[in-house]
Structure formats: C-alpha cells, structure tokens
Structure 1
Amino acid sequence: MTPDPRNLLRSMFDAAIAAAQPDLCIPRFLPPRPKGRLIVLGAGKASAAMARAVERNWDGPIEGLVVTRYGYAVPTERIEIAEAAHPVPDAAGLEAARRMRDIAASAGPDDTVLCVISGGGSSLLALPLDGISLDDKQAINRALLASGAPISEMNCVRRHLSAVKGGRLAALAHPAKVVTLLISDVPGDNPIDIASGPTIGDPTTSADALAIVRRYRIALPKAAEALLVSGGSETVKPDDARLSGSETHIIAAPQASLEAAAFVAREAGLAVHILSDAIEGEARDVGAVLSGFAAQVARRSQPFTAPCVLLSGGETTVTLRGKGRGGRNVEFLLSLGLHLRGIPNVWALAGDTDGVDGVEEIAGAILTPDSLSRAWALGINPQAALDNNDGHGFFGALDDAVVTGPTLTNVNDFRAIVIV
C-alpha cells in the first residue's frame, strides 16, 4: 500500500532535520581537555544548540560566546549566547563579533579555542574592516542577496571585507590550538564557504572578490571598493603559520540528512534516488529541470519506476525581479508545479532545514497535483506569482506552507519529489 504522499514528505523532512541535530553530532568530535582553558566561540543558526551540546558533553571548565539568529537561542550555563539579525547584519552582530575577536586574541598557548560554526554565520558575525561602516555592510549584504550569485561567490566577497572571516578569527587565537566543528549548509561542503570561513585559510584573493562584484554589477561603497582594488583586504591564506595547528571537522552535512530521509521512504516501501546533495542555480530553473525528471518517471517509467522518491539538496538562488515575499524553496516549488502542469501522481516538498526560507519564518511548502487548480479557483495566477517572486504568498493562500519553527540546525535546502 502506497503511503499518503503528504505525510511521507513531512516525515522525510523531519528526519533530515533530526539527523543534523548538534546533540547527535557533537560528542565524538570534542577535543582532548587542554592544560589551559576551553574557549568556545561560534556563529550561525545552529551555533547556540552546538554550544549547548558541547556543555552537555564536557566535564571540565568551559567558557565562551556564540552568536545566533534572533529566536534561535537555547539555555546554556557557561557559554554566553548572543542573538543578532540574519540575513542582513545589525549592531548586535557587530558587537558580538567585536567581543569574539577580543576573546580569541586573549587565548594563550595552553588554551584550546573550540569554534562551532554553521550556516548563517556570515551575517551574524558582522565585523567589517576598518573604513567600512555597519550601514555599508548592510548595503553590501542586501546587494549580494539580490544579485543571484551562488553562495561561494557571495562569501568570497564577504570574506574580503571582514575583520574576522577568511581565517582571521583563527589567526587572532594563535598560538592557542583551534578546533573547528562545522555544520555544512553549502554545496560541496567546502569549509571556506561555511559562514565565510572565520577559521579557515582562504585561497581566494581580493582580485577574485572584485571580479565577482563587477560580474554582478554590485555597487560597493567607496571604502569597500578601494580595499578590494588595493589588495588591502587580503585574507589569511591556507599556508599561514598561524593556522598550522588548526583542526577542522564537518560534523553534519546535507548528504547525511538526505540519507536519513531516504531511510524513511524505504521503510515506507518506496524506491529512493538521491540525485545530488549540491544542486545550485536559479530556483526556477532547477524547478524546470527536475520537473522533466519527474514527468519522465511518471509517464515513461524512465529512468526510474514509480512509486519512488527523488531527493536532492544544495542551495539555489533567486534573482529578485518582483516584490513578493520571496523564498528560494517556494520559488523552486512554484516553478516545478508550473512545468508539471498538474500531472496527477507527483507531489513535492522543498524547505530550508533551518526553518527559514528567505526571510520568512516559514521553512518551505508542499506542492500537490492540484496546487495550480486550487490556486486558480482562488483567483491566483500561478505564473504571475512566480514572476513576482511570491512563492510564500502562493502556498500560504493554499494552506500548504511548511512551518517548523527554529530547527537549531542548518544543512541547507531539502527537496523531495514523490511519484506514486
């Protein structure tokens, strides 16, 4: 008996999130107890939960500071939790980053600095280089988010305009031992792109960042552009001696979460095909391509036979054209639905594993075979909604939004297509 697609989709999404919980992933990566202090520093949507997991599994003295998104704090006893804005930084993130810089610089040779980093840290750990104001930083972030650039290129620019990213935080902590635990939210799991790599040596250059700015025609404040042009914004490189004793571990990543979702589907009796954990590109283009795969399965039993599930992860982008409520996962779903044109046997869920798709407190949505017809019955034009970047408005009107609240982790986008 084929399970109810809606319930199966939500069960898979919940399993993907559960597989990346810090309490599950942190303990086996903790470092040995140092002679001196264990100092915990961190940033990201999962960083507070990561800090709590460290506390729960550490039997010695511990101190530190992490910064997470508003609403994502959890109770801790010895590690301070600060909250700040995401995806556009604010003064609270600036102050937390300043304090974190000073704490890192205070570390001695007998100390271990344990850095707990996850997606979202790029905006939460917001300390620009001298000459760049917070207003400048906010304007740069908004321009990057609207540009359509992939996350690796956005973070290259961010690293070269930051006082703590691109290996700078680890360099400040030298000669202490630095151990970094990462929850990956980026395609390919490259540590330099997770929160813009505050403890990771950066192989890219100021010239690379400048080329990205010019490619996407991003208007930079004069001080920021001058730093890139002059090379005065260069980051810490991988062969820098200050990073020689550093350790880096990815403790949770999209692939493991996709495999957890696949287990749920197989237990329900469906074949599962993981297409990729690293799909990038415009959300609407990815929707169009995956609709072709799903339609071929549904109509031709190629390259797979239904009933089955197609899983994928990664991070798509949205080039803003309209004035809707945005969200790359709901934009993907709306495009998918428009290209499927109501094929009766195809259902889908797309959501951000951190619980926030775009800037909405909504993780994503569910697409059903009758989503388009229900929208038309309500007087909603699906194509117009897509043109206006209003996926959240579209699925909200259908009561098909997926709301999780803060998930306390972040392994990027999750997409599941069920073909019955």
Structure 2
Amino acid sequence: MTDPETLLRSMFQAAVDAALPDKVISDFLPARPEGRLVVVGAGKASAAMARAFEQAWDGPLSGLVVTRYDHAVPCESIEIVEAAHPVPDAAGADAARRMLEIADSLGDGDVMVALISGGGSSLLTAPCAGVSLADKQALNRALLASGASIDEMNCVRKHVSAVKGGRLAAAAFPAACHTLVISDVPGDDPADIASGPTVGDETTLAQAREIVARYAMVLPQSVIAALNDPANESPAPDDPRLSRASTQIIAAPQASLLAAARVAEAAGIALLILGDALEGEARVVGKVMAGIAASCTQHGQPIRPPCVLISGGETTVTLPKGAAGRGGRNVEFLMGFAAANPGVWAIACDTDGVDGAAEVAGAILRPDTPLDTLAAAMADYDGHGFFEAVGGQVVTGPTLTNVNDFRAILIL
C-alpha cells in the first residue's frame, strides 16, 4: 500500500484540484449579450475564477473582483483588488462600493457575471446606512467568536449590508445577472455562499435579531439599530429586481470528496463517505468521528479496516473568553479526535489553504504523534501551536479555490 501520509496528502490534493476554477468554469459560460458583459466577484477563489473566465470568454469584457490578500492572479481586462479576511477592511469596503456603482450603471441588454466563492462575506463589505466600517468589523469579530453556524452568521451579515442578500443583483436590474459559484457551505445553498450578494434572501430581520440574542453577542449600538430598522430587510427571492438573475454552482464539496475517494480506491483502500455537509463544534465532531473509527476497528462497522472515512462540511469553534491560542476548525477537529482515539491516521484541512486565520491548511495526525501537550493545547485552543510543535502541519499556500473542509481518517 502507498505510504499512509502520502496517501492522505494525495487525497487532499485531489479534492483541491477537482475544484480549481480553470478545470470547471468553461462549461458554464453565458450566451454573448447584446450589450456589455461586466464581471464582478468576491471570495478567496474569485481572482482565479476571473482569470479562468477571461481565458474562456471570446468577446469583450471588463470587471472588478475582490479577493483575499496574497490570492490575486493577473488578468488582462478584469481588475483584481485584494482585501482582508476574515475581518473586513477599507479595501474591501471600497471594492464593494465600486461594484455597486458598476451594477447600477448597467441597463437592459447588458449582462453582469458574478464570480462568487467562500470568503466573499468578509471581502465584499458595504455597511448599510448608519453603520461604520469599524462597527462592521466589530460585528464580524463577534460572529466569528460566537459559535454560530455559517448560515446564522450570514443571516446577520445580510441585514447590516448594502450589498449582500441579493442587493448586488438588484442594483444591476434591468440587466441580467449570471452568477457562477464555488460552494463552501454545507448544503450548497447559493444564498449562504458569501452571504448571497446576487441571491434573494429568505431570512428576516427578526431572525437576525434572534440569532444575536441566542448567542448573547455584544454588538455596537449602530448594528443593533440597523437590525431594528425595517429599511434593512433584504430582497426576497420573488423580488422583481431579481427576475433576471440566475445562479449555477460550478464546484462543490461532494465532487471534491469523490475525487479524493478515487485516489483511495486506486490505492486499494475501502472507503466510506460520511457526508459533505457535517457541522457542529469542531472538537465535538472530532470526538464523534473517533467513536466511528473505534467501531470500525473493534466491530468492522460501518466498514471493515483497512479503510478510510471521508467527510466535508464546516464545523465551528466557540472561543471562550481569554483563549490565547492559534486555532482553526480543522486542527480543533484533529485535537478532539486524538483525545478520544489516539493512534489513528487522520488529515483535516481547509481546501482554501487557510485554517482559521493562520496561513496553514490544517494538519495530519499520525499514530505516533506525541500527545503530552494535547490537553494544554486544547485548553488554550492552540491547535496550530500544537501541530507546529509536534509536526504534521499541512502548508499549501493559497490554493485559489474553496470548497470547505476536507477530512479523511485512515484505519489500518
């Protein structure tokens, strides 16, 4: 059999490669419009998507996309702007304002192509009236530390925004809006990817207020006021301004899991895909997965070793007050797994190459990974510090795509 670490790394790389924009975007080009074609976009993969679209398109175009710092790639006709993630900055706010102006300049017969991927919620930030960028940054920090799921965070974000929740497509009307999406959310709902700037919103201000209350978030007064202002209700799916908007998902987590599965099959390893949309507290999900792995070892159920359990999705990390470590949901998952079932091979990485705020994709857990400092690292939520010390970090640099987390547990 292939060396276990090589196998796990190859599976992760196959998952990333399956979602690269230049592999998929040419199958989803719109018809040539009567008028102008303008490209806008936001997300960690948006610059690579822009380059792939530009190379596949055989007509004139112009545009502007915003991506994370160090994720830009050169384009000829589409301007690439870099901005901050996961907490927005002035560069992202300026790019969002300019995109709204571009959308507003379009008319009947024009087409706006929106290239959207994960990370766009922070990168494409245009606070609603009365909310400053500093207050929007405070909101993002509170959301990230709250333990709220991605759809809950996006519900709140949409109702404090001038661009999210369908508002970008509404600004382009009566021009058509053709959105191409790389999904990084459980369930692949386009309304949740980058907070759906071109997709009608089924959530409400009341729901956003309930989420804030349930997680006891402490927010700036301007944000609280915005969530109580009926003017900030976002466009619903049946809003007439969205009647010329369409959305296609061009890459999604399940396709990447299947690509990784083919690598395992080629190596002669039995496999079981547990799902592409697993959610929950990262270390708790790790503990649950450890129990499944133990059942495989002890009972041959749900699959007999040698085997690999594959999953995707997006877990969450709820940071307690005073936590000082460098964490990320993938290394949190691995620490939870190791605490419950040491001695098993496992990999957990974010397909965008960034786990949490660290420039590290994730890590590999080996059967001989030293666990003497694991309890202390878990107490400090310091997963990256732990794997940096014991070895096993997976560092890819920006992958220029994002279909969320990839996890594989190898039981020999």
Q: What TM-score do you get using the length of structure 1 for normalisation? A: 0.97
Q: Equivalent residue for 2:211?
A: 212
Q: Equivalent residue for 1:68?
A: 67
The one-letter amino acid of 2:81's match is A
Q: Equivalent residue for 1:50?
A: 49
Q: Equivalent residue for 1:227?
A: 226
Q: Equivalent residue for 2:411?
A: 419
CA positional deviation for 1:300:
2.0
Per-residue CA deviations over 1:132-177 (Å, capped at 9, x if unaligned) read: 0010000000000000000000000000000000000000000001
Q: Equivalent residue for 1:407?
A: 399
CA positional deviation for 1:3:
2.0
The one-letter amino acid of 1:356's match is V
The range that moved more, 86-95 or 382-391, is 382-391
The one-letter amino acid of 1:324's match is G
- SS at 1:115 equivalent: strand
Q: Equivalent residue for 1:348?
A: 346
Which of 363, 366, 369 is equivalent to 2:364?
366
- SS at 2:314 equivalent: strand
- Report matched runs for 1:283-302 at 5 Å: 283-302=282-301
Q: In 2, are the aligned partners of 1:68 and 1:82 still within 8 Å (CA)?
A: yes
Per-residue CA deviations over 1:275-297 (Å, capped at 9, x if unaligned) read: 01000000010000000000111
Measure, in 1, the Cα distance between the counterparts of 2:230 and 2:148. 22
Q: In 1, are the aligned partners of 2:191 and 2:200 still within 8 Å (CA)?
A: yes
2:310 corresponds to 1:318:
no
Q: In 2, are the aligned partners of 1:207 and 1:231 still within 8 Å (CA)?
A: no
Q: In 1, are the aligned partners of 2:87 and 2:140 still within 8 Å (CA)?
A: yes
Q: In 2, are the aligned partners of 1:97 and 1:126 still within 8 Å (CA)?
A: yes
The one-letter amino acid of 1:207's match is A
Measure, in 1, the Cα distance between the counterparts of 2:222 and 2:53. 39
CA positional deviation for 1:233:
1.2
Measure, in 2, the Cα distance between the counterparts of 1:302 and 1:28. 40
The alignment of Structure 1 onto Structure 2 pairs a total of residues equal to: 410
Measure, in 2, the Cα distance between the counterparts of 1:124 and 1:28. 26
The range that moved more, 315-324 or 64-73, is 315-324
Measure, in 2, the Cα distance between the counterparts of 1:259 and 1:394. 30
Q: In 1, are the aligned partners of 2:295 and 2:301 still within 8 Å (CA)?
A: yes
Q: Equivalent residue for 2:385?
A: 393
2:338 corresponds to 1:337:
yes
2:376 corresponds to 1:384:
yes
Measure, in 2, the Cα distance between the counterparts of 1:336 and 1:269. 25
Q: Equivalent residue for 1:145?
A: 144
Q: In 2, are the aligned partners of 1:45 and 1:119 still within 8 Å (CA)?
A: yes
CA positional deviation for 1:77:
0.3
CA positional deviation for 1:228:
1.3
Measure, in 2, the Cα distance between the counterparts of 1:327 and 1:230. 35
Q: Equivalent residue for 2:81?
A: 82
Q: In 2, are the aligned partners of 1:375 and 1:394 still within 8 Å (CA)?
A: no
Measure, in 2, the Cα distance between the counterparts of 1:363 and 1:304. 28
Identity of aligned residues (%): 65
Measure, in 1, the Cα distance between the counterparts of 2:95 and 2:226. 24
- SS at 1:98 equivalent: helix
Deviating 4+ runs (over 2 angstroms): none
The one-letter amino acid of 1:338's match is A
Per-residue CA deviations over 1:178-237 (Å, capped at 9, x if unaligned) read: 000000000000111000000000011000101000100111211211121232310011
- SS at 1:226 equivalent: helix
- SS at 1:191 equivalent: coil
- Unmatched segments (≥5 aa) in structure 1: none
Q: Equivalent residue for 2:328?
A: 327
Measure, in 2, the Cα distance between the counterparts of 1:21 and 1:265. 20
Measure, in 1, the Cα distance between the counterparts of 2:51 and 2:26. 11
The one-letter amino acid of 2:346's match is A
- SS at 2:407 equivalent: strand
Q: In 2, are the aligned partners of 1:42 and 1:67 still within 8 Å (CA)?
A: yes
Measure, in 1, the Cα distance between the counterparts of 2:284 and 2:353. 23
The one-letter amino acid of 1:315's match is E
Measure, in 2, the Cα distance between the counterparts of 1:341 and 1:10. 20
- SS at 2:178 equivalent: strand
CA positional deviation for 1:48:
0.2
Q: Equivalent residue for 2:197?
A: 198
CA positional deviation for 1:375:
4.1
Measure, in 2, the Cα distance between the counterparts of 1:255 and 1:121. 21
The range that moved more, 358-367 or 213-222, is 213-222
Measure, in 1, the Cα distance between the counterparts of 2:231 and 2:177. 26
The range that moved more, 241-250 or 348-357, is 241-250
- Report matched runs for 1:163-312 at 5 Å: 163-312=162-311
CA positional deviation for 1:394:
0.5
Q: In 1, are the aligned partners of 2:65 and 2:81 still within 8 Å (CA)?
A: yes
Measure, in 2, the Cα distance between the counterparts of 1:308 and 1:337. 18
The one-letter amino acid of 1:277's match is D
Q: In 2, are the aligned partners of 1:276 and 1:312 still within 8 Å (CA)?
A: yes
The one-letter amino acid of 1:188's match is G
Q: In 2, are the aligned partners of 1:350 and 1:366 still within 8 Å (CA)?
A: yes
Q: In 1, are the aligned partners of 2:131 and 2:226 still within 8 Å (CA)?
A: no
Q: In 2, are the aligned partners of 1:45 and 1:68 still within 8 Å (CA)?
A: yes
Measure, in 1, the Cα distance between the counterparts of 2:106 and 2:148. 36
